[in-house]
Structure 1
């Protein structure tokens, strides 16, 4: 099945074009057909935007402007190459003929090439004279990276365990200025972290990073068109460069970094052979010191060191570094729940999204500091990451009008709502909320008391609340019954309590206490 160009591939085409690459070289660098590159370049030029403007567009917008077009399907070509490898072993056997093998190939293949193409591809693959070519490397064009085959070691202070660590090597081929760093593993996060440190070490960015076909760099290895790891591609986008994996089993494609690894064994590994390190930081500090000496060594023929060649010839061709360092992104999927949140499984927490996306499947992009939620490649929510387990992070703009109103509920909110109807109402609301363990239950009851003013008015509600406080009968149901039965106005008993005076009225026929002395 043919691959398709996604928006990141389109941005890589634009980036290389702005760097001065021809369409043919762009196709070679990215493993894409030249005709496909030509087609997209015509589309770019025919649009209403400049190349620099297109580079700043969101992926979704690029996808709308330039619908995906298929690249060359290499399955048919790979099948032919595999057949050639077996056929060529019998090349010197008596009676060998190309026609015999072509007929055998045509019977096996699903979509066989014609005989003329069969022979043309064979001659290209197995030329009569095949020599080694000395490559002239352009300044600032590429950075080769690799992991050393042999490992260094760090000792765990607590257990005494000897822990093997990987060694990352990067080189700028024009000046051969070299960077070396020890790291925990060859995993994606360590590879990207080392590349980030290497670019900071060089103080600039080359046009392309040439890597191996290792799992941390590519998701599907191929001799002709490898698929780059999504995080690694995003790293390249951040630094405005491209990733160009070397062909599998072709060490000549990156001979300089292979040689730099061997030189690292001599200049760094050997001096460290009798030293013991208890942390990666200590080991890298010593590597840095040895690396400075290594880069200061003079080339015999060039009469200059790697550092001098870098400073004089290559540094000026590197692109400037972006202001911020790259943060490693990870990805996971989540469905928007009915309450308008997505469940973020790495932290077991929840983040809000606009309520109109309820029920939709989303993709979450997250770093150490941020969480982004995407739907159909468009970002619909951005939050600061909160590592608290079970925590709900909410953006009030994401909520519907009803949900937004509920999110404001608090004891202070209800007190402010109750005060305009009287101090007694506010006192009752405070008591109702304080008497329950689960605040949302108290909030609903308090809202019920406040809403009674719509049917009975604020004056009567305040009187009813006063009587409920005096009788220690504060609840929504009792206050409602006082108002319903008009007890706030007609009860003489409550009036006497209110005025704090004798219930026997004054009259001239009633003698006072002085008559009984």
Structure 2
């Protein structure tokens, strides 16, 4: 597969502006059955979509997909870095190949004298034929969209694939049906989900944040402090470090929550995975409904689950230290003032404020009205 050197164009109906578009060309090695499609660019989104359409056009999956690997101009959406022995593949394109159960087999990196390499020669020959068989008929008409242009390309393409080969009594299509279709692997049931990407730094707790969802995913703790690449689709999130996949998670769109693989975490972080909001709420309910309500407020207002869990553990532990009834009273009093944190409960219990009458306490509340206010002791 490759992109043709000569572009086609579509014309805006309203402005008359001409927009050039790329032309993707793929050919099967034995039958020479050809696929052609116009796309907006050579970026990986368009390349992957065109490759997928090519596989569905031929109705199966070949053992390998062969993109260009020239040192001077490798197909960047497929091959990030050209190399004679082990070229570096684009992660998204490699993931696409993995979904379809095929292999990316870039052509050998070469210099101009290598032009006779058969794999490259096949697609280069196909491109030359496309200019005469596909481009020529298209020049008779103006197209206003990619959809219109590709509909016209398909008509010319079918004529090309069904035309008898020179000096033969069979066409590319007939040869494909006879010798090549049976060699293809079946198409998977589901189409490929293209993955978007972003970069993130692994936090000290061994997680990275997928900022579009504000959700946190674990990676092996040895990557703490490293910058990793996240590839994500509608259903999965993958983390890569130096082109190696280090984590795979189901994508969840719940903000400020964690998706954690315990195997990723150092022992000092594993306690976090043993706790869930439901577990804290169940524990609080076993004490009193007002304690449950206070814990719910803590969970709702904290941005990071780990931060909320520590507060919950501290508050609920007062049931043993001070007694359940005192904790209930402290939560009721804190709820009445709309102040939700561990230090509030601690202060109420240490100063025996849970035992005050409301009328006595109302004028002597020695607490800030907001967490961000430092209080008078800070300035002494």
TM-score interval for Structure 1 and Structure 2 normalised by the shorter chain:
0.5 to 0.7
Q: Which residues of 2 match residues 501-512 of structure 1 at below 5 A?
A: none
Cα separation, 1, equivalents of 2:332 and 2:168: 101
Q: 1:181, CA displacement in angstroms?
A: 0.8
**Match of residue 368, structure 1, among 196, 208, 233:** 233
**1:230 aligned partner:** 89
1:459-481: CA deviation from partner (whole Å, max 9, x where unpaired): 5666x569969x99997344554
Distance 1:264 1:367, change over 3 A: same
Matched, 1:215 2:59: no
Matched, 1:172 2:41: no
**Match of residue 276, structure 2, among 398, 403, 408:** 408
Q: 1:288, CA displacement in angstroms?
A: 1.1
Aligned-pair Cα RMSD in Å:
4.7
**1:383 aligned partner:** 249
Q: 1:392, CA displacement in angstroms?
A: 5.2
Q: Which residues of 2 match residues 375-454 of structure 1 at below 5 A?
A: 380-385=246-251, 393-395=258-260, 397=262, 400-404=269-273, 408-409=276-277, 413-414=280-281, 416-421=282-287, 423=288, 426-427=289-290, 430=293, 438=301, 450-454=316-320
Q: Which residues of 2 match residues 137-286 of structure 1 at below 5 A?
A: 145-156=1-12, 159-212=15-68, 213=70, 214-216=73-75, 217-220=78-81, 225=84, 228-231=87-90, 232=93, 238-240=101-103, 242-245=105-108, 247-249=110-112, 250-253=114-117, 254-286=120-152
Q: 1:180, CA displacement in angstroms?
A: 1.0
Cα separation, 1, equivalents of 2:182 and 2:295: 73
Q: 1:177, CA displacement in angstroms?
A: 1.7
Assess if the C-alpha contact under 8 Å between 1:327 and 1:367 holds in 2.
Answer: no
Cα separation, 2, equivalents of 1:392 and 1:460: 31
Cα separation, 2, equivalents of 1:466 and 1:198: 64
Cα separation, 1, equivalents of 2:260 and 2:299: 28
Cα separation, 1, equivalents of 2:8 and 2:338: 77
1:259-282: CA deviation from partner (whole Å, max 9, x where unpaired): 433332333222222323232122
**Match of residue 359, structure 1, among 199, 216, 224:** 224
Cα separation, 2, equivalents of 1:256 and 1:239: 20
1:229-259: CA deviation from partner (whole Å, max 9, x where unpaired): 4125565564146332474435443444334
Distance 1:239 1:339, change over 3 A: same
Assess if the C-alpha contact under 8 Å between 1:350 and 1:391 holds in 2.
Answer: yes
Gaps of at least 5 residues in structure 2 are: 361-380
Q: Which residues of 2 match residues 5-20 of structure 1 at below 5 A?
A: none
Assess if the C-alpha contact under 8 Å between 1:155 and 1:278 holds in 2.
Answer: yes
Distance 1:246 1:467, change over 3 A: closer
1:215-242: CA deviation from partner (whole Å, max 9, x where unpaired): 22444557xx275341255655641463
Distance 1:276 1:483, change over 3 A: same
Assess if the C-alpha contact under 8 Å between 1:220 and 1:228 holds in 2.
Answer: yes
Question: Which is helix-richer, 1 or 2?
Answer: 1
Distance 1:245 1:278, change over 3 A: farther
Distance 1:335 1:313, change over 3 A: same
Assess if the C-alpha contact under 8 Å between 1:176 and 1:306 holds in 2.
Answer: yes
**1:136 aligned partner:** none
Assess if the C-alpha contact under 8 Å between 1:336 and 1:357 holds in 2.
Answer: no
Cα separation, 2, equivalents of 1:226 and 1:199: 27
Assess if the C-alpha contact under 8 Å between 2:206 and 2:223 holds in 1.
Answer: yes
Cα separation, 2, equivalents of 1:445 and 1:228: 50
Distance 1:355 1:479, change over 3 A: farther
Distance 1:248 1:200, change over 3 A: farther
**1:339 aligned partner:** 205
Cα separation, 1, equivalents of 2:248 and 2:106: 28
Gaps of at least 5 residues in structure 1 are: 1-144, 495-517
